C-alpha cells in the first residue's frame, strides 16, 4: 500500500490539474488509501511542524513566517494554495514529495482554520503553534466565539514544543493558563495601539467597561509592536526597539508581523539565540501582502486597493487602516458559504467614516443589505448593482482619474480579481 499511495496520489493530482479541478481531491485519495501518509511524511522534518490558526490574518501571517524562515536558510513546506484544511495539506504534500514519498524540507508551516486545525493536530501533533485571535467570524459554522476558543485550546494542548499566543486577545492569552508541558511565548502590542484593535467584547460596550475575560496581569511578550508609521514599524525584542521598513499596510497586518517574528524566533532555536536578526528584518520588510489583504493593483494608471473583509472586526480595522479621503469606494458583499450566509455582522460595523465621501458603488449578492446598512448610518450611496462585473465596470468608469478602493468578502474578491485580470496584471490564485 505504502509503495503505491504516493505515485497514485500524484497521478490523481496531475489528472485533476489537467481537468482544472480542485486542489483537495488528490489529498482525499491518498488519505483514503494511506491514512498514515501525512503523519509519516511530516514526522521526518528536522524542525517539525508549525500550525498557524485563528480568525483573522492566517494567510498573511503564514506567508510572513515562511519568508522569515527562508531568510534563515531553512527550506519550508507550506500549504500555499489556501487549502487550509487537512485534505489540502495532504494535497500540497503530494505536490512536494518525490515519487518515493520523501519531503526535502526542514520545517512545515501550515495555515489551518480552527475546526480543521483540531482534526489535523489529532493526526499530527505540531511542535509549534501560533494562535492569532478569536473573533466573530463564520459563527454559522462554529456556533460561538467561546467554542472557537476551545478549538484553539485543543490545538495548544496537542502542541509538543512552543505555543505562541496573542497577549492582547483575552480568549487566546488565557489558553496559557491550562497548558502544562509547553513553552509559551506571547506577541504583544503597545498600549498606545490597543485602541486601534477594538475586540468584539468592547464592540458595543459602554466606554471604559472591561472586556469580560481580560487577563489580570499582562505577561511579558517575546516581541512587542511599539509603533506603526506610514511605511515603517517599531518592534521591541531582547530589550531593544528596532525600526524596520514595511511593505505591508494596515495595523492588523503589522501586528501579525510581531506574531510571525515570535514564531520564527522560536523555530530558529531558543528565541533569539541563533536567528540572524538583520536578515530576519530585511525579510520582514520585503513581505508583500497576501492576495486581497490590502494588495494594490493598478487600473487606468491609478491604484486600486483590494481589502478583504470577513467579519465585523476585520471590516472595522479595514476602514480604520485605509481612510476613505481622496479614494473612490466600492463595497462588494456576497453571502456564499465561504463568506458566511448571515448578514448580521454588517450591523456590528460603524460606517461613519464613509459618510463624508459616500460609497460610489455597491455590489454582490447582498448589495441591498449593504445599502440598507449604509442608509441607517446616513452614508450617501452611488450605484447598487448585485452583479459584480457590470458594477465593477461602472465603478472604474465613474471613478476615472481617482485612486480606488474595494472592500470585499472572500468570494466577491475572487470574482473581482477575475474581472480585473482582464484589464490589469493580477496574480493568479489557484
- Alpha-carbon dihedral sign for residues 68, 70, 71, 72: positive
SS3 306: strand
Q: 13's torsion region: left (phi>0), alpha (psi -120 to 50) or beta?
A: alpha
Q: Which residue number, 243 or 344, has a Cβ lying nearer to other proteins?
A: 344
User: What is the closest distance, in whole angstroms, from the C-beta atom of residue 383 to other proteins in the complex?
Assistant: 13
Q: Which residue number, 32 or 341, has a Cβ lying nearer to other proteins?
A: 341
Residues 1 to 40: which contact other proteins by CB under 8 A?
A: none
C-alpha R_g of the chain? 22
Q: Tell whether residue 375 is a contact of other proteins (CB under 8 A).
A: yes
User: What is the closest distance, in whole angstroms, from the C-beta atom of residue 143 to other proteins in the complex?
Assistant: 6
User: What does the alpha-carbon distance between residue 142 and residue 125 come to, in Å, rounded to a whole number?
Assistant: 22
Q: Which residue number, 176 or 372, has a Cβ lying nearer to other proteins?
A: 372
Tally of CB atoms within 10 A around 75: 14
| Residues linked to residue 362 through DSSP beta bridges, in sequence order | 331, 384
Q: Which residue number, 208 or 325, has a Cβ lying nearer to other proteins?
A: 208
Q: Tell whether residue 316 is a contact of other proteins (CB under 8 A).
A: no
| Residues linked to residue 235 through DSSP beta bridges, in sequence order | 225, 242
419 DSSP 8-state letter: H
User: What is the closest distance, in whole angstroms, from the C-beta atom of residue 407 to other proteins in the complex?
Assistant: 17
Q: Tell whether residue 384 is a contact of other proteins (CB under 8 A).
A: yes
User: What is the closest distance, in whole angstroms, from the C-beta atom of residue 13 to other proteins in the complex?
Assistant: 31
Q: Tell whether residue 341 is a contact of other proteins (CB under 8 A).
A: yes
How remote is the C-alpha of 213 from its chain's centroid?
24
User: What does the alpha-carbon distance between residue 330 and residue 61 come to, in Å, rounded to a whole number?
Assistant: 26
- The correct pick among 187, 237, 345, 407 for binding other proteins (CB under 8 A) is 345
Q: 269's torsion region: left (phi>0), alpha (psi -120 to 50) or beta?
A: left
Q: Which residue number, 106 or 202, has a Cβ lying nearer to other proteins?
A: 202
Q: Which residue number, 112 or 349, has a Cβ lying nearer to other proteins?
A: 349
Element (H, E) at 415: helix 410-420
336 DSSP 8-state letter: S
Q: Tell whether residue 347 is a contact of other proteins (CB under 8 A).
A: yes
Identify whether the C-beta of residue 270 lies closer than 8 Å to the C-beta of residue 316.
no
User: What does the alpha-carbon distance between residue 111 and residue 133 come to, in Å, rounded to a whole number?
Assistant: 14
Site string for other proteins, 211-230 (x = CB under 8 A): -x------------------
Q: Which residue number, 205 or 272, has a Cβ lying nearer to other proteins?
A: 205
Tell me the window of 259-267, 281-289, 301-309, 340-348 that interacts with other proteins (CB under 8 A): 340-348
Q: Tell whether residue 172 is a contact of other proteins (CB under 8 A).
A: no
Closest by CA to 374, choosing from 330, 320, 325, is 330
Instruction: Name the phi and psi angles at 213, rounded to 5.
Output: -110, 25
Q: Tell whether residue 177 is a contact of other proteins (CB under 8 A).
A: no
- The correct pick among 19, 46, 195, 204 for binding other proteins (CB under 8 A) is 204
User: What is the closest distance, in whole angstroms, from the C-beta atom of residue 394 to other proteins in the complex?
Assistant: 17
Q: Which residue number, 206 or 240, has a Cβ lying nearer to other proteins?
A: 206
SS3 149: helix
Q: Tell whether residue 427 is a contact of other proteins (CB under 8 A).
A: no
By CB under 8 A, the count of residues binding other proteins is: 36
- The correct pick among 371, 398, 414, 429 for binding other proteins (CB under 8 A) is 371
Q: Which residue number, 207 or 326, has a Cβ lying nearer to other proteins?
A: 207
User: What is the closest distance, in whole angstroms, from the C-beta atom of residue 238 to other proteins in the complex?
Assistant: 37
Burial class from Cβ neighbours inside 10 Å (0-12, 13-18, 19+) for residue 278 reads exposed
User: What does the alpha-carbon distance between residue 252 and residue 273 come to, in Å, rounded to a whole number?
Assistant: 28
Residues 88 to 147: which contact other proteins by CB under 8 A?
A: 136, 139-140, 143-146
Q: Cβ neighbours of residue 170 under 8 Å, at least 6 residues apart?
A: 199, 201, 211, 212, 213, 214, 215
Q: Which residues bind other proteins (CB under 8 A)?
A: 136, 139-140, 143-146, 201, 203-206, 209, 212, 335, 341-348, 365-369, 371-373, 375-377, 384, 386
Amino acid at each position: 500500500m505504502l509503495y503505491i499511495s504516493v505515485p497514485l496520489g500524484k497521478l490523481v493530482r496531475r489528472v485533476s490539474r489537467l481537468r482544472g479541478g480542485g486542489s483537495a481531491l488528490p489529498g482525499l485519495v491518498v488519505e483514503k488509501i494511506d491514512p498514515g501518509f501525512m503523519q509519516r511524511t511530516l514526522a521526518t522534518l528536522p524542525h517539525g511542524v508549525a500550525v498557524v490558526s485563528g480568525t483573522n490574518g492566517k494567510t498573511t501571517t503564514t506567508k510572513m513566517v515562511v519568508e522569515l524562515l527562508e531568510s534563515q536558510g531553512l527550506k519550508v513546506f507550506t500549504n500555499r494554495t489556501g487549502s487550509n484544511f487537512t485534505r489540502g495539506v495532504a494535497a500540497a504534500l503530494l505536490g512536494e514529495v518525490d515519487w518515493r514519498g520523501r519531503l526535502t524540507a526542514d520545517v512545515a508551516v501550515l495555515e489551518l482554520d480552527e475546526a480543521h486545525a483540531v482534526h489535523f493536530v489529532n493526526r499530527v501533533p505540531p511542535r509549534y503553534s501560533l494562535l492569532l485571535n478569536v473573533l466573530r467570524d463564520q459563527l454559522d459554522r462554529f456556533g460561538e466565539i467561546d467554542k472557537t476558543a476551545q478549538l484553539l485550546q485543543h490545538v495548544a494542548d496537542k502542541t509538543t514544543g512552543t505555543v505562541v499566543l496573542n497577549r492582547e486577545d483575552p480568549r487566546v492569552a488565557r489558553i496559557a493558563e491550562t497548558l502544562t508541558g509547553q513553552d509559551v511565548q506571547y506577541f504583544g502590542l503597545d498600549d498606545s495601539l490597543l485602541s486601534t484593535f477594538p475586540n468584539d467584547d468592547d464592540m458595543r460596550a459602554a466606554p471604559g467597561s472591561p472586556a469580560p475575560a481580560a487577563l489580570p496581569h499582562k505577561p511579558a511578550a517575546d516581541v512587542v509592536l511599539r509603533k506603526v508609521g506610514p511605511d515603517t514599524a517599531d518592534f521591541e525584542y531582547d530589550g531593544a526597539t528596532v525600526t524596520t521598513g514595511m511593505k505591508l499596510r494596515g495595523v492588523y497586518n503589522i501586528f501579525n508581523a510581531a506574531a510571525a517574528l515570535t514564531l520564527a524566533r522560536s523555530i530558529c532555536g531558543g528565541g533569539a539565540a541563533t536567528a540572524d536578526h538583520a536578515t530576519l528584518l530585511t525579510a520582514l520588510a520585503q513581505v508583500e501582502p497576501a492576495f486581497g489583504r490590502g494588495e494594490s493593483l493598478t487600473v487606468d494608471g491609478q491604484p486600486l486597493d483590494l481589502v478583504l473583509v470577513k467579519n465585523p472586526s476585520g471590516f472595522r480595522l479595514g476602514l480604520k487602516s485605509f481612510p476613505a479621503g481622496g479614494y473612490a469606494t466600492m463595497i462588494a458583499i456576497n453571502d456564499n458559504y465561504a463568506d458566511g450566509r448571515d448578514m448580521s455582522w454588517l450591523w456590528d460595523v460603524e460606517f461613519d467614516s464613509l459618510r463624508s465621501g459616500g460609497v460610489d458603488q455597491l455590489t454582490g449578492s447582498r448589495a441591498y443589505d449593504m445599502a440598507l446598512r449604509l442608509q441607517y448610518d446616513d452614508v450617501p450611496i452611488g450605484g447598487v448593482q448585485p452583479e459584480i462585473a457590470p458594477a465593477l465596470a461602472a465603478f472604474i468608469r465613474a471613478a476615472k482619474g481617482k485612486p480606488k478602493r474595494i472592500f470585499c468578502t472572500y468570494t466577491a474578491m475572487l470574482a473581482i480579481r477575475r474581472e480585473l485580470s482582464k484589464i490589469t496584471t493580477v496574480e493568479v490564485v489557484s
